[in-house]
Amino acid sequence: MKFGHFDDKEYEYVITNYNTPLPWINYLGQDGFFSLMSNTCGGYMFYKDAKLRRITRFRYNNVPRDYGGRYYYINDNNTIWNPGFLPFKTKLDSYKCRHGLGYTIFESEKNKLKADLLCFVPLNDLCEINQLTLTNNDNKTKNVTLHGVIEWCLWNAVDDQTNFQRNWNIGEVEIDDQTIYHKTEYRERRNHYAFYHTNVKHDGFDSDLDTFIGLYNSWCDPSAVLNKTSYNSAASGWAPIASHMFNIELKPGESKTIIFQTGYVENDDDKKFTSLDVINKEKAYELQNKYNNKEKVEKAFNELKNKWVTLLSTLNVKSDNEKFDRMINIWNQYQCMVTFNMSRSASYYESGTGRGMGFRDSCQDLLGFLHLIPEKSRERIKDIASIQFEDGSTYHQYQPLTKRGNADIGGGFNDDPLWLIAAVSQYIKETGDYTILNDPTPFNNKEGSERPLIDHLRASLNFIITHKGPHGLPLIGRADWNDCLNLNCFSKTPGESFQTTSNFESGKAESVFIAGMFVLYGKEFATILKNIGNVDESNKVLKEVKDIEDATIKYGWDGEWFVRAYDAYCNKVGSHECEDGQIFVEPQGFCTMARIGEDLGYGKKALDSVEKILTNDYGVEILHPCYKEYHLELGEVSSYPRGYKENGSVFCHNNPWIVIANTVIGNNERAFDVYKRNCPAYLEDVSEIHKTEPYIYSQTIAGRDAKNYGEAKNSWLTGTASWTMFAASQAILGIKPDYEGLMIDPHLPKEIKNAKVTRIFRGVKYNITIENNNTSNYQMVVDGKTINGKVIPYDKTKKDVDVRISL
Ligand code: GLC
Ligand code: GLC
Q: Return the pLDDT at 31.
A: 87
pLDDT of 86 reads: 97
Alpha-carbon distance of 785 to 501, in angstroms, equals 61
Q: Which atom of ligand 2 is nearest to the CA of 651?
A: 9
DSSP 3-state assignment of 520? helix
Asked whether residue 354 carries a pLDDT value surpassing 90, the answer given is no
360 CA distance to ligand 1 middle (Å): 9
Centre of ligand 2 to C-alpha 484, Å, is 7
344 lines ligand 1 (CB under 6 A): yes
In terms of residues, how long is the chain?
Answer: 807
Q: How far away, in angstroms, is 651 Cα from ligand 1 center?
A: 9
Under the phi-then-psi rule, with left for phi > 0, alpha for psi from -120 to 50, and beta for the rest, what region is 707? Answer: alpha
| Band (776; pLDDT cuts 50, 70, 90) | confident
Read off the pLDDT band of 399 (50, 70, 90): confident
Residue 717 Cβ < 6 Å to ligand 1: no
Asked whether the beta carbons of 14 and 333 are under 8 A apart, the reply is no
Nearest to 687 by CA among 17, 21, 6, 90: 21
* Beta partners for residue 264, in sequence order: 194
Q: List the Cα angle 723/122/87 in 5-degree steps.
A: 85
d(CA 546, CA 592): 15
Q: What's the gap in Å between 485 CA and the centre of ligand 2? A: 10
Q: Are 24 and 32 within 8 A, CB to CB?
A: no
Is the CB–ligand 2 distance for residue 483 below 6 Å?
yes
pLDDT number for residue 400: 81
Residues whose CB falls within 8 Å of the CB of residue 403, separated by 6 or more in sequence, listed in order: 383, 386, 387, 445
Taking a C-beta distance cutoff of 8 angstroms, is the pair 65, 23 a contact?
A: yes
**Whether residue 502 has its Cβ less than 6 Å from ligand 1:** no
Q: Give mean pLDDT, residues 611-616.
A: 98
214-240 tens-digit pLDDT = 999 999 999 999 999 999 999 999 999
Computed over every residue of the chain, the mean pLDDT equals 97
Strand ranges for 39-70 from DSSP E: 45-47, 54-56
Angle at the Cα of 61 (from 701 to 335), degrees rounded to 5?
45
- In 462-529 the beta strands, taken as DSSP E runs, fall at 510-511
Q: In 624-736, which residue ranges form alpha helices assigned H by DSSP?
A: 655-664, 668-677, 687-690, 720-726
Distance CA 119, CA 140 (A): 29
Asked if pLDDT for residue 402 goes beyond 90, the answer is no
With 90 as the cut, is the pLDDT of residue 291 above it?
yes
β-bridge pairing 33-38 and 45-47: antiparallel
Q: Measured between alpha carbons, how far is 11 from 331 in angstroms, rounded to an integer?
A: 8
pLDDT tens readout for residues 147-206: 999 999 999 999 999 999 999 999 999 999 999 999 999 999 999 999 999 999 999 999
Is 484 touching ligand 2 by the criterion CB < 6 Å? yes
Q: Which atom of ligand 1 is nearest to the CA of 714?
A: 7
How much is the CA Rg of the chain, to the nearest whole Å?
28
Q: Is pLDDT above 90 for 768? A: yes
Task: For residue 366, report the distance from its CA to the centre of ligand 1, in Å.
Answer: 15
Residue 664 and residue 121: Cα distance in Å, rounded? Answer: 42
- Alpha helices, H only, 665-770: 668-677, 687-690, 720-726
Name 800's Cβ contacts closer than 8 Å, sequence gap at least 6: 764, 765, 766, 767
Catalytic residue among 206, 455, 483, 558: 483
In this structure, what are the phi and psi dihedrals at residue 467, rounded to the nearest 5 degrees? -130, 70
Residue 356 has pLDDT above 90, yes or no: no
Strand 735-737 versus strand 273-275 pairing type: unpaired
DSSP 67: -
Q: How far apart are CA 194 and CA 207, in angstroms?
A: 13
pLDDT confidence tier of residue 804, bands split at 50, 70 and 90: very high
Residue 64's pLDDT is 87
Residue 333: its pLDDT value, please?
97
Distance 545 CA to ligand 1 centre (A): 26
- Helix-then-strand count for the chain, H and E: 20, 44
Supply the residue whose CA is at minimum distance from atom 9 of ligand 2.
483
Residue nearest to atom 7 of ligand 1 (CA): 718
Annotated catalytic residue 320: no
User: Torsion-angle region of residue 794: left (phi > 0), alpha (psi -120 to 50) or beta?
Assistant: beta
Cβ–ligand 2 distance for 478 under 6 Å, the answer no
Instruction: Report if pTM > 0.95.
Output: yes
What lies within 8 Å, CB to CB, of 747 at 6+ separation is: 663, 666, 668, 671, 731, 732, 734
Q: Which residue's alpha carbon is nearest to atom 5 within ligand 2?
A: 483
The ligand placed nearest to the CA atom of residue 482 is 1
Question: How do residues 37-85 score in pLDDT, each as one tens digit?
Answer: 999 999 999 999 999 999 999 999 988 899 999 999 999 999 999 999 9
Question: Cα separation of 464 and 473, whole Å?
Answer: 9
pLDDT for 307:
97
